[in-house]
Structure 1
Amino acid sequence: MGGMAGLEGMEQPRPRSEAAAAHGECPGVDGEATPAPVGPAPAAPDLVGDPTLGEVRLPSRPQSARTARRLTAAILLKQWTLSPQLAEHAVLLVSELVGNAVRHTGARTFGLRILRRRGWIRVEVRDPSRGLPCLMPVQAMDVSGRGLFLVDKLSDRWGVDLLPRGKTTWFEVRVNDR
């Protein structure tokens, strides 16, 4: 199943036709692809907070994407001992969601939360803007606008929950629980 940005709780089944992805007639708010390999020195959650215990607030600056990537890698690899490939995908996707929050919301801070339940991980980025991100069609030579395309392709489902003040953009990935 795949989720597409929309109203709280709305999801769209996967697979979707190319025409469904082409409904990007609103201004693009997805960010550039910023692949970030899972590095050997992830940030320790105790330095900025543990997003598995509650929302971690980070400043809305480009440098915060690095912190979010390192937190995600530390949790998925060290705390939950998930596969390196899954961690690499999650790190890339959290970078995209954080990039969107930093570039397109005008917020001073954003929130990061990482949740695990049986068979799934969920990563959430909360910001004060109620502007919905748009999944834009992507061409082979595009140098920007691939963020939500990557989220759509690499996650099992994703979406946006509107809040009274802002929104939470999230993605979920299946995991094999032992």
Structure 2
Amino acid sequence: MAGLEGIEQPQGRGRAAVARWSPAVEDERALKAIELFGNPTKAEVPLPSRPESAATARRLAQVVVLRHWGLPPKVTEDAVLLVSELVGNAVRHTGARVFGLRMRRRPGWIRIEVRDPSRGLPCLMPVQEMDVSGRGLDLVDKLSDRWGVDLLPRGKTTWFEMRVVDR
């Protein structure tokens, strides 16, 4: 049952066994992601352009936003979802072999950035109720306070920002 992040796999019971979600397993995987890839609050973290990198980015966002920054669960949920969408777009649409992930915080705001070598701009498309794809930027637009793209000499950075309450 590969690809089930945060799911503890039963041992020795075969396929009929039901997988259980475990916060301890997910926390362990999130901390392992920081160990393996680095801390995206300190420097840009390079990630391979593979579908499983979305799970890595979610884990990094979870550990940074919830644990390191101590922000509320709702902010964490939204940030984790949106980072996954930006990473998914970078993997699917840019042709990059590697992309970068960076997370920043300043008073009242968090900012999450995904940098890739493509200068192709993401497009916010109208989404219909029955659409099965193309919802990523729509979610970013709806759940973040602002988002955008910064063109670079070699590529671009797609980012979103969310307001947060400072303690």
TM-score (norm 2): 0.82
Asked if 1:175 is matched to 2:164, the reply is yes
| Alignment match, 1:19 | none
CA separation in 2, counterparts of 1:139 and 1:103? Answer: 21
| Alignment match, 1:141 | 130
Question: For 1:71, which of 47, 60, 66 is the aligned residue?
Answer: 60
Asked if 1:89 is matched to 2:78, the reply is yes
How many residue pairs match? The answer is 142
For the residue of structure 2 that corresponds to 1:81, the secondary structure is: coil
Residue segments in structure 1 that go unaligned for 5+ positions in a row: 1-35
Asked if 1:52 is matched to 2:44, the reply is no
Structure 1 position 174, deviation (Å): 0.4
RCO higher in structure (CA 8 A, sep ≥6): 1
Structure 1 position 48, deviation (Å): 1.3
1:83-140 CA-partner distances (Å, limit 9, x unpaired): 1111000000000000000000111000000000000000000000000000000011
For the residue of structure 2 that corresponds to 1:131, the secondary structure is: coil
Q: Pairwise CA RMSD of aligned residues?
A: 1.4
| Alignment match, 1:114 | 103
For the residue of structure 2 that corresponds to 1:161, the secondary structure is: strand
CA separation in 1, counterparts of 2:77 and 2:36? Answer: 22
Structure 1 position 75, deviation (Å): 0.5
For the residue of structure 1 that corresponds to 2:156, the secondary structure is: strand
Amino acid at match of 1:86: V
Amino acid at match of 1:102: V
CA separation in 2, counterparts of 1:102 and 1:49? Answer: 19
Runs of 4+ in 1 over 3 A off after TM superposition: none
TM-score (norm 1): 0.77
| Alignment match, 1:27 | none
Amino acid at match of 2:86: L
Amino acid at match of 2:119: R
CA separation in 2, counterparts of 1:76 and 1:90? Answer: 8
Amino acid at match of 1:113: R
Residue segments in structure 2 that go unaligned for 5+ positions in a row: 7-21
Amino acid at match of 2:130: M
Question: For 1:99, which of 88, 91, 94 is the aligned residue?
Answer: 88
Structure 1 position 47, deviation (Å): 2.5
